[in-house]
Amino acid sequence: MATQDPFVLKVPLDHRELTDLTRSDKVKVVARAADGSTSSTTVTVGGRDASEAELVFKANPGRLKVAVGPAEADDHQILDADTLGINVPARMWEDLPKLTVAPIKIGLFHWGWWKR
């Protein structure tokens, strides 16, 4: 029985507006699939290099809700909060098992809120 390749979502993070970052500064990126399952990863945003989250799903996730929040927060806290995020329509997965979405911009307001 052949195993199916995973479905991968890449989420670039634009943190150029944040000037006081250190190499220890991190955020969490979480996605909730149509079936309610979640995938999350913690991403370092310190330094000048662009950051990118990679979320993996074993099967076609369908419509996704993607949210960004503090690295220490629980996945469901981030998904349920009024925070940065995007929706990925199910049709995006029709022909592609790997997607890269437009960058999510992390501004000073959210960064300051997360650090409190």
| Closest to 77 measured CA to CA, from 40, 45, 105, 107 | 40
pLDDT at residue 1 above 50? Answer: no
Token look-up 């309610």 returns 36
Can you give the chain as a three-state secondary structure string? CCCCCCEEEEEEEECCCCCCCCCCCEEEEEEECCCCCEEEEEEECCCCCCEEEEEEECCCCCCEEEEEEECCCCHHHHHHCCCEEEEECHHHHCCCCEEECCCEECCHHHHHHHHC
Give the model's pLDDT for residue 3.
Answer: 56
Range of the domain at 26: 11-115
pLDDT in tens, 7-30: 999 999 999 888 888 888 999 999
CB atoms within 10 A of CB 11: 26
Structural domain total, the chain? 1
- Asked, for residue 2, whether it belongs to a domain, the answer is no
Residue 76 lies in a domain: yes
Distances (CA, A) of 70 to 57, 78, 90: 22, 8, 27
Do the domain assignments include residue 73?
A: yes
Domain assignment present for residue 39? The answer is: yes
Tell me the C-alpha distance between 86 and 89, whole Å: 10
Query: What is the pLDDT at residue 84?
Result: 95
Q: Is residue 3 part of a domain?
A: no
pLDDT in tens, 30-51: 999 999 999 999 999 987 667 9
pLDDT digits (tens, 9 = 90+) for 67-92: 999 999 999 999 999 899 999 999 99
